[in-house]
Amino acid sequence: MEIHHPNYGLSKTKEESFAEDTSINLLPRAVLRPNSYILLDGEWKFKLDLEDKGLTESWHLGHAYEYTGMWPGSIEEHMKNARIEPTQKSWRDKVIAWYEREFPLPHLSTNNGDPHSLLQLTFGACGYETMVWLNGILLKTIEGEEVHTGEYTSFSYELDPKTLKEINRLTVRIADSMDADIPRGKQESHVYKRGGIWYQTYTGAVRSVWLEPVERNRLRSRVGVFSIVEDNMVRFNLTTRIHDPGNYTLRLQVYKRKQDTPEPLAEDSYPLKLESGEKRQRVVIEIPTAELWTPENPVLYRLVAQLIDEKGYAAEIETHFGLRKIEARGCCVYLNNKSVYLDGILYQPGTATYEEIKAHMVAMKKLGCNLVRIHIAGVDPRIYNLADKIGMMLWVEVPSPHHSSAKSRKAHREELLRMLSLIGTHPSVVIWSLYNEDWGAQDIATNPETRQYITEMYHYMQLAYPQFLIVDNDGWHHISYEGRLKSDLLTAHLYTPDLQRWKELLDAIVSGQMTGVAAFPLVVGDPFFYRNHIPLIVSEWGGFGFSDYGGPKENEGRSELIKAYKKELRSRPIAGDVYTQATNIEDEKNGLIDEHSAALKVPEGLLNSRDEEL
């Protein structure tokens, strides 16, 4: 591995600041920083720790690694490529892997004497449990964790200059298991084994890792956005990170996404007295000439936020946002106070790369979708950026645990909060599911503690994140308390290959029948009386081609049946539907888009029913 000293800095030119759409974000996050960064992707030393002895033998102090692996990449891939036993059966209980590489100390033009900056190490996603050592010294995340848990979101370390050398050794220990109490989405566990709708594990070094200079006193890479579209107002939730307490000024400037001139459309400043540590702060700014974000016209704006100290030094971040309002009102979903039918599709990216997912998203737009339901998976955050730009509404979900317990609920809550802190920027994200089909909440019908937890998280989401619609448990077993649904949408999963049965199911559900429609009763808890006062979404249907769901396997037959099913949906008071699914994945052979080339297997516009006569 070639070692050389790259330079990095905390400045950018005026031309870069205001040139048309020059903000190309190559890192998996929503926020841009005006700095340079160093990707540590590529070849790492690798070793499997089958006996879990690396900690007791202090591998972080120096160890002989037999193999190499490419980062990003999964432990499963690295085992296969290195022909490490067990190769055929992968792992069946717990897997521990160690990675190591060297990197040179980046050089600032100030000979690393800049009083404002420090070096930060960020993992785009890694886990489920991750420990990191720098030159043999165990690091703590910004949140103070020696062991970071979670494998779907980023986490960072501020590097102490005293521990840095000209050539530095970075050691990473990753541990994962088949534990059904931790968030896993559709990866197999001790409860759900691989096969059918359950997939092979994919864990470890799953997203990029990079070094970058950041300011000691700065805004973190997490921005929440809530629009008051009637008043052209935007509420931003920002997080400050302070090492030097004192008086600061928060300055916001808003520009069009593509703008050649330096004058902002709106700007304001807010004085802050900040102690050491982190603090969330809400501020509001008016954008008098604002246009609203819609799938047909995805207007985006650029926010430049600066935290300025008493000497005038400004630490800056930049992100894109859009003004939009989503509501569940009566029988319909409203976007920006106009009813909109949700023509959706279920998407399970699996092990697809960013470039493949990007191509899939464009193909789903060609199919006529205005909504993609990303099914209980954590994806590269750049996909949310893409959806913002192309005008695709997203329905996202917490990767579910597979067992219901106090432990799984705690892990679920922590995963949800990690995801929320990093996804709250995007106008494309409009719906969140807490659970799906009882996975991780199998006792929802019998255990008041499970229902109480879901109810509490629903209320929390309503208050803290009003920019989203919230679904408690998608598919069935929605929670009712005193006749009030603890979900913004009444959703049902309906699978049948028979058109006549399809008509009967739709008639039953729109008439308010809560049992005998989906696989389980639609509502659990207190009685709930449906009277067209909450939007009804058929959030999974079709799946034609997959053996479990039946229906035609050839593309022409599937196309004709999809048209017939969509016609029945649109002839009833239903607010939207989600076809299963976009691409094939492992045993599920029901995709409408080729998973490799992203070519459509069915005609363009097949899922667009918004222009059809009701």
CA dist., res. 339 & res. 69, Å (int): 50
Across residues 153-181, what is the average pLDDT? 95
Res 112: pLDDT: 56
Please give the CATH topology (third level) of the domain spanning 218-321. Answer: Immunoglobulin-like (2.60.40)
CA dist., res. 209 & res. 132, Å (int): 12
CA dist., res. 198 & res. 189, Å (int): 9
Mean per-residue pLDDT of the chain: 91
One-letter identity of residue 172: V
Highest mean pLDDT pick, 180-194, 198-212, 402-416: 402-416
Alpha-carbon Rg for the chain, nearest whole angstrom, is 25
Residue 587's SS3 state is coil
Across residues 67-88, what is the average pLDDT? 82
Residues 6+ apart with CB under 8 A from 464: 420
Res 107: pLDDT: 78
Across residues 352-359, what is the average pLDDT? 92
Strand partners, 255: 302
Let me know: does 167 contact 102? Beta carbons within 8 Å.
Answer: yes
Phi then psi dihedrals of residue 104, to 5 deg = -80, 150
Let me know: does 575 contact 537? Beta carbons within 8 Å.
Answer: yes
Residue 552's SS3 state is coil
How do residues 87-105 score in pLDDT, each as one tens digit?
Answer: 445 567 899 999 999 999 9
Query: Pairing between strand 429-436 and 469-474?
Result: parallel
Q: Where are the domains of the chain?
A: 31-215, 218-321, 340-593
Across residues 355-370, what is the average pLDDT? 96
**pLDDT band at residue 110 under the 50/70/90 scheme:** low
Whether 611 has a pLDDT exceeding 50, the answer reads yes
CA dist., res. 209 & res. 211, Å (int): 7
**143 Rama class: left (phi>0) / alpha (psi -120 to 50) / beta:** alpha
Instruction: Answer whether 218-321 and 340-593 agree in fold.
Output: no
Let me know: does 464 contact 458? Beta carbons within 8 Å.
Answer: no
Percentage of the residues of the chain whose pLDDT score is greater than 70: 93
CA atoms within 13 A on the CB side of 150: 25
H helical segments located in 399-447: 406-423
Whether 614 has a pLDDT exceeding 70, the answer reads no
Let me know: does 359 contact 594? Beta carbons within 8 Å.
Answer: no
Res 578: pLDDT: 98
How do residues 591-600 score in pLDDT, each as one tens digit?
Answer: 999 999 999 9
For the chain, how many residues are written? Answer: 614
Residues 6+ apart with CB under 8 A from 613: none
Res 282: pLDDT: 97
Whether 613 has a pLDDT exceeding 50, the answer reads no
Res 20: pLDDT: 34
Percentage of the residues of the chain whose pLDDT score is greater than 90: 82
CATH superfamily of the 31-215 domain: Galactose-binding domain-like (2.60.120.260)
Whether 362 has a pLDDT exceeding 90, the answer reads yes
Strand partners, 203: none
Across residues 214-240, what is the average pLDDT? 96
CA dist., res. 426 & res. 424, Å (int): 6
Whether 258 has a pLDDT exceeding 90, the answer reads no
Kindly compute the dihedral angle of the four CA atoms of residues 67, 70, 75, 76, in this order, to the nearest 10 degrees. Answer: -100
Residue 326's SS3 state is strand
Res 89: pLDDT: 56
Phi then psi dihedrals of residue 364, to 5 deg = -65, -35
Strand partners, 332: 329
Place of tokens 């579910």: 400
Measured CA to CA in angstroms, residue 574 lies from 156, 426, 448, 449, 567 at distances of 44, 26, 30, 32, 12
Tell me whether residue 142 is exposed, middle or buried, using C-beta atoms within 10 angstroms of its C-beta: 0 to 12, 13 to 18, 19 or more. Answer: middle
Helix (H) or strand (E) holding 364: helix 354-366
How do residues 279-321 score in pLDDT, each as one tens digit?
Answer: 999 999 999 999 999 999 999 999 999 999 999 999 999 999 9
In words, the CATH class of domain 340-593 is alpha beta
How do residues 367-391 score in pLDDT, each as one tens digit?
Answer: 999 999 999 988 889 999 999 999 9
Across residues 7-23, what is the average pLDDT? 39
How do residues 540-552 score in pLDDT, each as one tens digit?
Answer: 999 998 888 888 8
pTM for the complete prediction?
0.93
Across residues 143-166, what is the average pLDDT? 95
Res 234: pLDDT: 97
**CA-closest candidate to residue 223, choices 244, 240, 248, 243:** 240
Res 16: pLDDT: 32
